[in-house]
Amino acid sequence: MTNNDIMRRVRYIFDFNDSTMIALFGLADQQVTREQVSAWLKKEDDPGYEKCVDRLLAIFLNGLIIDKRGKREGPQPKPESRLNNNIIFMKLKIALNLKAEDVLAILGLAEFCLSK
């Protein structure tokens, strides 16, 4: 799954429109345009597709965390320049305020059994 796929899926899960997507980037101190957001959300074979690099996805997820949990005091976290599945999962877990038990329950709903 690419960064673009992840951004697209988060957008549809939360039913974010373009303005909300732009606002999430803004919460993490990154200004983006509607055209950029549109290009990141296109499929790879669409004209105008633009690859979403790790740093941009990290900024988007940081904005999601701020939106869902509020801005923390002090200096804001720097966006990672390299992401992996664990970092992405942790950012989503933080944004949604999920505990280990919550994650296990969600996985159980998908009939994916895992124990702590």
Average pLDDT, the chain: 93
pLDDT tops 80 at residue 112: no
Q: Does residue 115 sit within a domain? A: no
Sign of CA dihedral 103, 109, 111, 115: positive
Distance of CA 11 to the CA centre of its chain: 8
The domain of 35 spans 3-109
Q: Which amino acid is at 41?
A: L
Residue 105 is predicted with a pLDDT of: 87
Q: What are the pLDDT digits (tens) for 54-92?
A: 999 999 999 999 999 998 888 888 999 999 999 999 999
Q: Does residue 74 sit within a domain? A: yes
Q: What are the pLDDT digits (tens) for 3-37?
A: 999 999 999 999 999 999 999 999 999 999 999 99
Q: Does residue 114 sit within a domain? A: no
